Structures are given as structure tokens and as C-alpha cells.
Amino acid sequence: MNLSKEQGDSHLEDLKWTPDRLAHGVLVKLQEVPFDVRLFKLVAPDGDIDWVITNDLAETVTAQVAEDSSDVRWQGEELHRGSKQLTGSEQCQGRAARAQRNHLACCYHA
């Protein structure tokens, strides 16, 4: 990732996280992404660090907004994973859309 064309590529460890950067994130350019993204460093009270990126470059996006959005996305991931595990839908061998749809319907009705 890089902060500007003049600086070139750098690593996350090289970034200096000021209070303003922690609150509002920092605009970065990732190597394989053709547009800028905003990077947030979310530090939990126990010291765990979550890295969140967004393509919403508005100044109104704060660390709290990024954290709330990340929490909602994570709930969706947990719901999807749980439904796959509990229904056995990941065992579907069907290739056609109709076969997959029928298999999922049977899993959810069971």
C-alpha cells in the first residue's frame, strides 16, 4: 500500500497512527485495487486490532461508522455460515441452478 506516489509502497507497521488518523482513517492505495480506499485501525479494549477498509471516501466516515458497518457485515457472515452448517446445504452436488434451489429448499424444510 502507499499513501502517495512520492512515498512508494510501505507496510502497515510503518504507518504512524495519530489520534486524527485513528478517528478518520487514512487514504491509501492498495497494489491490486484501481482506486483509493480508506483504512481504519480499530483497537479493542483488550488490545486486539481489526483492520477495516472502505471505498467510501467521505470525510463523514469515522472509525465508529466503520466499526458499526463491520459489525453488521460480520453478523451476516455468521448467519450465512450457521445456516450452511445446520442445514447441510454445503453438501449439495448439483451444478444446475434448479438442482441447487431444490436442494436448499429441502434443507430449509427439514
| 98 and 73 share one domain | yes
Closest CA relative to residue 29, chosen from 2, 11, 65, 64: 2
Parent domain of 70? 62-110
Which residues lie closer than 8 Å to 59 by C-beta, 6 or more apart? 24
| 49 and 80 share one domain | no
Q: Each residue of 64-108: pLDDT tens digit?
A: 998 888 888 889 889 888 888 877 777 778 889 898 888 888 877
Tell me the three state secondary structure of residue 52. strand
- Whole-number pLDDT of residue 41: 92
Alpha carbon 80 to its chain centroid, in Å, reads 15
| 45 and 4 share one domain | yes
Q: Is the pTM of this model over 0.75?
A: no
Angle between helices 63-87 and 97-109 (to 10 degrees): 80
* Domains held by the chain: number: 2
Highest mean pLDDT, choosing among 5-14, 36-45, 91-100: 36-45
| Residue 63 Cα distances to 2, 12, 42, angstroms | 20, 17, 7
